Every structure is written in structure tokens, then in C-alpha cells.
Amino acid sequence: MTTDRTDLDHAVHALKRDLLAPGGPRISTMHNYNFAILPYDPEDELKLRSRIKRLSEDLRAEGWAVCSIALHRLLLDRLKRLGEGRIESLIERERALAEDDPEGALEHLTEILAREIEGPDGLAADVAEEVAKFRATLDPGTPSVVLIGRAGALYPFFRTSALLKHLDGRTGNVPVVLLYPGKRRDLSALSFMGELQPDRDYRPRIYGAFDVGRPA
């Protein structure tokens, strides 16, 4: 019997299999580094959300606790904390620059936003706080996973490889999966949104086309 599974379906299936593996999750081969990345074509955003919703429902049916973190919400919350006046100032400055130099305007805005969202005290700190709140709700022994999505909202202001690097040691070793909109160029290279230069600064396991051949 054949199926019409896409690469995305195979990747989600492989992730589910490894989360539910006998003896506990095995999404990573590194001790005390329980991170993984699930890349998907940015055009498949709605399909990805549907597959992840189904995965979450299946895991909860197995007694799991699932925490979904939307990066676009964290980004908006962080921008709101800048204050209305500061945001209006950024918008007006970007508009003024864009009239003569659209690329320069984007570079300027990127530089400003990077100061707010990059580094260990940026969005990584917000994610770590969400994970800590989630862990505080868990009963001892409850299997759990954190799914980080809506990363496309960070383009082109933020490289997600930095996010996972700054989360290391701040998640209590709960399995964390980053849902990554982009292109997988080879075994270890990912291009954010399929637009940026491929980044090989990734330690976590990457799910995707290279998992298709593994036995179910």
C-alpha cells in the first residue's frame, strides 16, 4: 500500500516517532542538549500548522504536555515594551530613509531591532521564561515538549541559529523543537526563509528529507 506523504509529512512522522520512542524521547544524540529543528518550505506555513496541531493532539492523547510558543507574539510584546513613542519614531525614520534608499532603510531598521531581540537577553530570554512557566505547571514525570513556531516573523531581523544557542542550559532539558521556515541545502546547512545565505551554525538534529529513508 502506498501513501502520498510529502517531505513535511515524513519529517513530522519521524519527529513523533522519536518523541514517543521506548525509553523516552530521542530527538538528539547529545546528552543534555535536547533540541531539534524541523525545517519546512515557507510556502507550506499553513500546512505546517495543520500537521503540528495534529501532532500536538496525538501527543496529548498519549498523556503529554505540549507547550507552543509563537515567536511573532514574543516579538510584538517586546516591541510594545519599547513604548508607543519609540515605535512611532522608528516608523517615521524608516519611511524617511526609504524614500531615497529602501535597502538602507531596511538595514537601519534591522540594526535597531537587532539590539532588542538578539543575544541571551533578547528573544531567547523571553522563550526561556515561557519554558520556565510551562515547566512549573508540570506534574513530576509528565512527558513534555516545547514547539517553537512562527519564526518567519523574525525575518530578516534575526537568525534562528542564535536563538537555540542562547537557549542552551535554560530549558531544564525539556525537548525543544524549532519549526524552521526555510530551505535545507545539505545535511547541516539551512537557509532561513530560503533567502539568507545557508547557515551551518546548528548543533541540533535537523529533521527533513534526510529522515525519509529511516525505518518507521
Q: What is the pLDDT of residues 139-177, one digit of tens each?
A: 999 999 999 999 888 877 776 767 888 999 999 999 999
Domain membership flag for residue 108: no
Of 111, 84, 113, 109, nearest to 98 (Cα)?
109
Compute the average pLDDT of residues 17-28. 92
What is the pLDDT of the chain when averaged over all its residues? 82
Domain membership flag for residue 162: yes
Compute the average pLDDT of residues 173-199. 74
CA atoms within 13 A on the CB side of 18: 25
Residue 45 has pLDDT above 80, yes or no: yes
Question: Which residues have a Cβ under 8 Å from the Cβ of 138 and sit 6 or more positions away?
Answer: 65, 144
Domain ranges, residue 202 = 7-71+119-211
Which pLDDT band, with edges at 50, 70 and 90, does 6 fall under? confident
- CA-CA distances (angstroms) from residue 180 to 36, 40, 45, 146? 10, 6, 10, 14
Domain membership flag for residue 112: no
Domain membership flag for residue 109: no
Domain membership flag for residue 96: no
Least confident of 13-22, 42-51, 53-62, 105-114: 105-114
Task: Assign residue 171 the CATH number of its domain.
Answer: 3.40.50
Model-level pTM?
0.83
Compute the average pLDDT of residues 75-102. 77
Domain membership flag for residue 76: no
Domain membership flag for residue 95: no
Compute the average pLDDT of residues 50-68. 97
Of 48, 41, 44, 43, nearest to 70 (Cα)?
48
Residues for the chain: how many in total? Answer: 216
**Domain count for the chain:** 1
